[in-house]
Amino acid sequence: MTVLVCSDLDRTLIYSANALGLTGPDAAAPRLLCVETYRNAPLSYVLEDAAAELEALADETVFVPVTTRTPEQYARVHLLRRPPRYAICANGGHLLVDGADDPGWSAAVRSAAAEGAAPLAEIAERMAAAGDFVLSRRTAADLFAYAVVDRAALPDGWLADLTGWCAERNWRTSLQGRKVYCLPAGLTKAAAAREVAARTGATTLLAAGDSLLDRDLLEAADHAVRPAHGELHDTGFAGADVTAASGVHAGIEITRWFRRRAGAVE
C-alpha cells in the first residue's frame, strides 16, 4: 500500500510571521524553526515539534509539497533534511522530480491550461490597470499572474468584479494574505497530484490546503484536512476535516492528522 500525501505549504504547513496567529503570552509561545529565508532574513516557520513529525511523515509515506510557488520560490523552503523526491509547483504547472523540472509535464500542462482560456497578457493587462492599491505585479512561470495589494485599501466589490471578469475568460482568482492570484481554470493542483499518484502507484491520496486554489486537490483526495483559517475556512468548505487550532499550531495538527490517517490505511 502506497499512501500519497499531497500538502499545500503556505499557511497550511509553513507560516510567515504575519500568518503565525500566536495569541497567548510571549512567555508561553512555542519554539519555532525557520524553514525559509529570503534575502538573508527569516521568512517562514514551522513549530519545532512539527519539523520532527514531518520527518517521520516523509519516512512513512510519499510526501509531496503542492504549492502555487514557482520552482524558484519553492527552492527557498527547507522543510525536510532531505528534499522530497516529488514536488508540485506553480499550482500544478511544474512537476519537480529529484529537484529537476519534468519538461514533458510542463509542456502538457501549458497546452491544456491555454485551451479555452484567455491569454495571460490579457489578464496581466487588467491587473496593471487596477489602481493604486496594487503595490506590485508579477507573472509566474509564464502561466499565471499575481499582485501584492494593500488589503485595507481594496475597493468594495473589486475582487468580486475581478473574479466575474476572470470567470468569463476561464480564469479564477484567489486572495491569500496580501496576494491576489489569477490562474487559468485548467491549471490545477489535483491534476498534478493524480500524475504523481500514477507514477508512484499510490493507492490512497491524502491532502491538505487552506485556499480556494487547494479546493480541487482536497476534492480529489480520499481524505482531506484543512486549517481553521484561510479562504476555505472563510467560505465554509465542508469537504475536509478541520483543525481545532488556527495559525501555526494548525500546521502540526495537519501533520499529525496525515500520520494518523496513513497509519490507518496501512
Distances (CA, A) of 89 to 39, 95, 129, 157, 229: 21, 6, 28, 30, 22
In angstroms, what is the minimal distance from the CB of 242 to Mg ion? Answer: 15
In angstroms, what is the minimal distance from the CB of 236 to Mg ion? Answer: 17
Closer Cβ to Mg ion, 8 or 195, answer by number: 8
Are 128 and 46 in contact, with CB atoms under 8 Å apart?
Answer: no
In angstroms, what is the minimal distance from the CB of 195 to Mg ion? Answer: 20
Helix 189-200, helix 103-114: angle, nearest 10: 140
Q: Which of residues 117-176 bind Mg ion (CB under 5 A)?
A: none
> Which span sits near Mg ion by CB under 5 A: 11-19, 82-90, 111-119, 192-200?
11-19
Closer Cβ to Mg ion, 11 or 215, answer by number: 11
Q: Which DSSP letter does residue 211 get?
A: S
In angstroms, what is the minimal distance from the CB of 68 to Mg ion? Answer: 7
Burial class (CB in 10 A: 0-12, 13-18, 19+), 72: exposed
- At residue 24, what are phi and psi to the nearest 5 degrees? -80, -175
When asked if residue 8 is in the footprint of Mg ion (CB under 5 A), the reply is yes
Closer Cβ to Mg ion, 95 or 217, answer by number: 217
- In angstroms, the CA 61 to CA 4 distance is 6
Half-sphere exposure of 77 (CA within 13 A, CB side): 26
When asked if residue 216 is in the footprint of Mg ion (CB under 5 A), the reply is no
Find the binder of Mg ion among 210, 216, 231, 253 (CB under 5 A). Answer: 210
Closer Cβ to Mg ion, 16 or 163, answer by number: 16
Are 234 and 241 in contact, with CB atoms under 8 Å apart?
Answer: no
In angstroms, what is the minimal distance from the CB of 9 to Mg ion? Answer: 7
When asked if residue 226 is in the footprint of Mg ion (CB under 5 A), the reply is no
Find the binder of Mg ion among 10, 53, 195, 216 (CB under 5 A). Answer: 10
CA angle, 23 as apex, 22 and 28 as ends, to 5°? 80
In angstroms, what is the minimal distance from the CB of 13 to Mg ion? Answer: 9
Q: Which of residues 246-265 bind Mg ion (CB under 5 A)?
A: none
In angstroms, what is the minimal distance from the CB of 119 to Mg ion? Answer: 26
Burial class (CB in 10 A: 0-12, 13-18, 19+), 191: buried
- In angstroms, the CA 36 to CA 38 distance is 7
> Which span sits near Mg ion by CB under 5 A: 7-15, 55-63, 100-108, 241-249?
7-15
Binding site for Mg ion (CB under 5 A): 8, 10-12, 210-211
